[in-house]
Amino acid sequence: MKDILHRNNVHVSGSGTTPMLFAHGFGCDQSMWRFITPAFQQDYKIVLFDHVGFGNSDVQAFVPGKYNALQAYANDMLEICEELNLSQIIFVGHSVSAMIGILAALQEPDRFQKLILIGPSPRYINDEDYVGGFNAKDIDGLLDFLDSNYLGWSSTMAPVIMANPERPELSQELTNSFCRANPEIAKNFARLTFLSDNRADLPKVKMPALILQCSEDVIAPNSVGEYVYSQLPNSRLVVMKATGHCPNLSHPEETIAAIKGFL
């Protein structure tokens, strides 16, 4: 069904047969992988896509009742995999898409070979002995700001998420990416992301997983990376020198090296 590939603006490239499926984080699109994918073009089949509402996806495909949980985005991804007949997939997911990938892998485990999770967080809100990095009031404030002033939120939050202030062009790119997204869809996706709790899903994952944790990341702090590592049975944790939440943009060489070391 060509509609699925159009819906998610799917692009396939590369000379290999084993698929590497790259899933972008909140407010971004597949262009965020442009420094990473060339390193794998020779040996893998590269599959890139945009979540509905972001990049060049089909905004008309967004149905509010359908996209009311992260599972809906996992289902989209599985439809892409089925349409392209992908198996033995190496999944690479950034930020919230790390959890979306886990949901997809739990639903169709035979389709996935390995998971590479960049800055994953199963829950952003602190809970008893779990440190997610935010208290409930922080998240409420963040979502209220997002609802009332999406463009203001974008320009304020992008530098915090990106870090690396000595390279302002990176924050500007993230701001621009946020601002290109459909605001209503982005607000919905933010709510699903920041209020999600996927902790119970982690122990069910059987395939090997690599967790890439940035050394300073306000969105997914070290405590979260350690937690994900402790809960994913067959996982390896790499704490990178990279700072910020988007090492695929800010520190691509280190990101590539860590992925290659795992593969």
All domains in the chain, ordered by first residue: 2-262 (3.40.50.1820)
- Cβ–Cβ < 8 Å for 205, 232: yes
Overall pTM surpassing 0.85 (yes/no): yes
User: Looking at residue 2, what is its pLDDT?
Assistant: 58
> If DSSP codes are grouped into helix, strand and coil, which group holds residue 213?
strand
- Cβ–Cβ < 8 Å for 161, 244: yes
User: Looking at residue 1, what is its pLDDT?
Assistant: 52
Tokens standing for 214? 């940035």
User: Which active-site residues does the annotation give?
Assistant: 95, 217, 245
pLDDT-derived band of residue 64, with 50, 70 and 90 as boundaries? confident
For helices 150-162 and 136-148, give the axis angle rounded to 10 degrees: 130
- Closest to 188 measured CA to CA, from 52, 92, 80: 52
Region 247-260: what's the mean pLDDT?
98
Region 96-116: what's the mean pLDDT?
98
DSSP tally for the chain: helices H, then strands E: 10, 7
Q: For residues 116 and 263, what is the distance between their CA atoms, to the nearest angstrom? A: 10
Residue 259, φ and ψ in degrees, nearest 5: -65, -45
